[in-house]
Amino acid sequence: MARRSSGVVDAGASGYPPGGFSPADPWDTPDEKGRRGRRRGGSGDGGGDRRGWGGSGGRWLIYVGRIILWAFLIVVLVNGVRAPFERFTAGRSNTPAASDSTKPRFPEAAASAYALSFAEVYLNYDQATAVDRQRQLAQFIAGGIDPQLGWGGTGKSVLQSAHVASVRSDDAVHGIVTLLARANGRLFQLAVPVYAKDGAMAITGRPAMLPPPATASVPPVAQDRDSALETELQQPLTDFFKAYAASDAGSLQRYSDPPVTGLGNSVTLGQLKEMIAPRGDAASRTVTATVVWQIPAGQSKTSGGTLEQTYQLAMVKKGGYWFVRDIQGSMIPAGS
């Protein structure tokens, strides 16, 4: 009769530690195999501990995945609720803006025209025509105001020009129209109070004289001049300005591309006094030219004379020749 092995093997022969069992032992019972499996996979020895931690790491990945999924679902839910709410609140917030656009505003254009017409009367006075001035002022001023609007009744004033400089309003009916005026050879600003409602207007009080805008100090512009090009363009531009003064279509077609229109013999060319051609592209330049115009003597009060003016010319080179492409006023500060 065969005997079961005691299960003790020689460590040197089997390679297993003393007292251990071979995993391939055919005499293992199912219960013993289960206990050994639990010892190997559990926390009974060092090797079992390491395999146990591997299983725990897998569970942590599941937890992290669940957290990410829940975070995604929360973001989707929040955005789904917030989007219609924002559209609703945006619609409500836009309602006041729409109402602001329909809110009555001070009529700046109409008040400006009204103030200019008023200044024509207010800044022109003469004691010889005081009664006529008072009658004209009555068309502008509200009742209960001095009919001469502060004028003492003596002296003389002549208005040369007046233009709207600015309009300021505190509400839909009260405004200040500031005019840039020139009277008696002096430049100044005139603040005119205007009341406007339902298309009706009135000057509500005495205007105020203010100083003119200060004269700006313009810094000089340094340019690297192309003296060779200035010499090359001297004669062609002289001929161009002669044709420009006379509106000579044939000559203008020769010196400009596309052809420009001229001044219709309102002036004649005295001389091309100065030209500045900066260095730049070989096929295009922007040239500044100062010319002396001879003003024709008229049959009335004009007596001719000369007038210097500065132009900005856009030049292009085609087929070895320079042409004027465009002519404008110049922004470069003038010399002496």
pLDDT band at 23 (very low <50, low <70, confident <90, very high): very low
CA dist 42 and 34 (Å) reads: 11
Contact, 163 vs 179, CB < 8 A? yes
CA dist 183 and 120 (Å) reads: 10
The H-or-E segment that residue 97 falls in is: helix 46-101
Please give the residue that has the higher pLDDT: either 126 or 78. 126
Strands 186-197 and 200-203: antiparallel
Mean pLDDT over 295-304 rounds to: 71
Q: What is the pLDDT of residues 182-191, one digit of tens each?
A: 999 999 999 9
Looking at the structure, do residues 132 and 182 belong to the same domain, yes or no?
yes
CA dist 137 and 147 (Å) reads: 7
Domain region containing 115: 108-210
Q: How far apart are the first and last CA of the chain?
A: 138
Looking at the structure, do residues 113 and 93 belong to the same domain, yes or no?
no
pLDDT band at 85 (very low <50, low <70, confident <90, very high): low
Mean pLDDT over 295-309 rounds to: 78
- Partners of 116 in beta bridges: none
pLDDT at 332: 82
Domain boundary among 44, 67, 99: 99
Domain boundary among 99, 131, 148: 99
134's tokens: 């008072």
| CATH number of the domain where residue 274 is located | 3.10.450.540
Q: Is the pLDDT of residue 127 over 70?
A: yes
Q: Is the pLDDT of residue 129 over 60?
A: yes
Looking at the structure, do residues 145 and 168 belong to the same domain, yes or no?
yes
Would residue 59 count as lying in a domain? yes
Looking at the structure, do residues 175 and 257 belong to the same domain, yes or no?
no
pLDDT at 42: 46
Looking at the structure, do residues 89 and 39 belong to the same domain, yes or no?
yes
Position 177: which residue type? V
Biggest CA pair distance of the chain: 161
Domain boundary among 166, 182, 210: 210
Would residue 72 count as lying in a domain? yes
Looking at the structure, do residues 244 and 318 belong to the same domain, yes or no?
yes
pLDDT at 220: 82
187-193-194 Cα angle (round to 5): 120
User: Hey, is 64 helix, strand or coil?
Assistant: helix
Would residue 160 count as lying in a domain? yes
Looking at the structure, do residues 178 and 254 belong to the same domain, yes or no?
no
Q: What is the pLDDT of residues 224-237, one digit of tens each?
A: 999 999 999 999 99
Looking at the structure, do residues 129 and 199 belong to the same domain, yes or no?
yes
CA dist 232 and 238 (Å) reads: 11
- Number of domains within the chain: 3
Average pLDDT of the residues of the chain: 82
231's tokens: 């010499």
Would residue 293 count as lying in a domain? yes
Please give the residue that has the higher pLDDT: either 279 or 40. 279
Predicted model pTM: 0.61
Looking at the structure, do residues 95 and 123 belong to the same domain, yes or no?
no
Using only C-alpha atoms, the chain has a radius of gyration, in whole angstroms, of 48
Mean pLDDT over 152-168 rounds to: 96
pLDDT at 27: 45
Looking at the structure, do residues 89 and 167 belong to the same domain, yes or no?
no
Would residue 52 count as lying in a domain? yes
